[in-house]
């Protein structure tokens, strides 16, 4: 048996129209899984996808539930879920409002809860095992200025990984998480292109000497979904080039 093969498995990856989610979905496909991609954009607006794609806004009422229904309609034996969809909406601290807080929590925390809960219930009813990967962030344990809602949502996801892992273990459903550090995605690429001085600082500060790429998260997700991780649940795998392993970065060159 190939420990990392996902042949015969069926996956849904949320937020997989671009960035980290896109790389994870492609990695699952490369490992043999039949994979459903998802995004809020129209299919004509996204990176090329040669697999089923569901357009669904997770911020609208019943959006997460409808996404699951459509995914199971496409693939009734769905047994892998990667909850990746999320974003950053925080304004500067003094401009923070209840509305901006609620939007972040709705997308980054409530939608993953509804997806994982609904997915778990469906598998339990069908008597099937499976695996879940929740994409959190190193912001779950290391905060940034002007990021209170984002950081709180990612901290909540880390707790959710542990709680869901305990709730679903007896049903043969494993739940783990990924905690990416600074990754070059469409969300971060804007300031990376306009502030090369900051990018140079991060390249110098990160022990492995560079900012992460979306593909750095793909192999980790495959591992957590695969037979190689069959005795791992409730764990959060950090993908940050060693950034959180150090207390204070090296002095400027």
Residue numbers annotated as active site: 150
Do the bridges between strand 173-180 and strand 130-135 make them parallel or antiparallel, or are there none, so unpaired?
parallel
How far is Cα 78 from Cα 122, in angstroms, rounded to an integer? 10
How far is Cα 115 from Cα 106, in angstroms, rounded to an integer? 12
How far is Cα 201 from Cα 195, in angstroms, rounded to an integer? 10
Sign of CA dihedral 120, 237, 54, 26: negative
Give the residue among 180, 144, 177 at the shortest CA–CA distance from 158: 177
Q: Is 241 left (phi over 0), alpha (psi -120 to 50) or beta?
A: left
219 phi/psi in degrees, rounded to 5: -65, -35
Give the residue among 116, 115, 92, 86 at the shortest CA–CA distance from 183: 86
Burial class of residue 198, CB neighbours in 10 A (0-12, 13-18, 19+): exposed
């Amino acid at each position: 048996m190939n420990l990392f093969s996902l042949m015969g498995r069926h996956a849904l990856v949320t937020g997989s129209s671009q960035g980290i989610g896109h790389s994870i979905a492609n990695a699952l496909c490369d490992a043999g899984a039949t994979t459903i991609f998802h995004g809020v954009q129209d299919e004509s607006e996204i990176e090329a996808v040669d697999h089923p794609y569901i357009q669904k806004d997770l911020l609208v009422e019943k959006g997460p539930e409808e996404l699951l229904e459509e995914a199971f309609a496409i693939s009734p034996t769905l047994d892998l879920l990667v909850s990746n969809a999320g974003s950053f909406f925080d304004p500067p601290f003094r401009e923070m409002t209840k509305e901006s807080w609620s939007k972040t929590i709705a997308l980054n925390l409530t939608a993953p809860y509804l997806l994982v809960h609904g997915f778990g219930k469906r598998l339990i009813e069908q008597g099937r095992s499976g695996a879940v990967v929740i994409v959190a962030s190193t912001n779950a344990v290391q905060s940034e200025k002007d990021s209170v809602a984002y950081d709180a949502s990612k901290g909540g996801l880390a707790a959710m990984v542990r709680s869901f892992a305990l709730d679903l273990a007896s049903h043969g459903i494993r739940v783990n998480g990924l905690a990416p550090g600074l990754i070059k995605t469409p969300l971060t690429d804007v300031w990376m292109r306009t502030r090369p001085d900051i990018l140079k600082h991060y390249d110098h500060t990160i022990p492995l000497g560079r900012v992460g790429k979306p593909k750095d998260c793909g192999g980790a997700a495959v591992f957590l979904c695969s037979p190689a991780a069959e005795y791992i649940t409730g764990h959060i795998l950090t993908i940050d080039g060693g950034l959180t392993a150090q207390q204070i970065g090296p002095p400027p060159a």
